[in-house]
Structure 1
């Protein structure tokens, strides 16, 4: 950016990454147990912290957990529990921190210390935030290239997410077959695309919001199953540890 000096926004982003990461670690427990009293401006539960953030995202990811869990378990076969946790939780979280700070921090820098214009673009159309950030960076042709690459990355994200969900749905409906028939994957993938397209054309964002609400509602009963699965995992790992200890004692005798 033109007024960022030799460091540009780099120093700002590095310091921001450290500051926000420490703030996240510091507030992680407090925000997870935070219970908000109804504020004066709230008109419903959706205006409260639990409604617009905690409940929505917990429910959203719980509803995704059968698909994500099966897919991640399949690609993680052969890994230890430590490697699994480090790769799925640790690495992905760190990369998310870097991604959010890199683009979000650059947008803040442009808005506060640069040419601005990002907030106006977001207010008009939130999907243009990334491209408005590239434009505010004032890097000429590099910004155009970055916009093209960003579009490709976003498209790849949605395509791979849909492909993963399609694979898991076909696997479940094929009674656990890890290699479901190709035509089944095509059929379910087509259905997913058709449903999404119809919702966008007929109801727009309102229809998608209704679908999201339905997903959150569906997550409630499955959350009980997830708790039971957590208990089962702890018991299974404890039993495995005990078995390894007994086998070790026997081997030394």
Structure 2
């Protein structure tokens, strides 16, 4: 698995889903003007940008372990305080923020509970901590057709269904273990249009995340077999993909 990729590659692969998800997440949580807010695992800035548009650039901070992604946020949002750092060791003092967010990152934390505890630490008492993760285990995430096609060809392939928070209710369990309370769980669904199979397929070749790493490790014959299996599941004509994420908000 790798996110040591260009911001543009991540944007082509997951940005098509993370951008509308960010808009839905901000609308669902309605951060208040006057708050200071942190975006943990910000990537190239999908959620960061929506938070900044909602409450102002200078009210938002962001952190990510990828220099390429932090650089992309700096270029996109020069007034946002974007820093290098890991969720499990956030570079901020206790109770710095009124709210903290983690979009599509809990399942990639080395220690999800430690990461959520850090988010709790840097959020002021009573403030909300919010995270969302794709429903990979339930088969309604954005990569469901891809992994179903892969498993038809390679039943032992390491799909993403076992990652932290990707099954219904597990994200709530992680929040509770991290010491957050007054938990509110929901599901957010976004719909993305694709003009062709090729538009859908080509970003899998960019080496982004577990899916990209899996594809990058295939030889020519195996890649052709996976592509054929995907092609049988995905229309050639314009089509839509619905993608659902589990979302939890807890209080410090």
Task: Give TM-score scaled by structure 1 length.
Answer: 0.24
Q: Over alpha carbons, which structure has the higher Rg?
A: 1
Task: Give TM-score scaled by structure 2 length.
Answer: 0.24
Bigger share in strand? 2
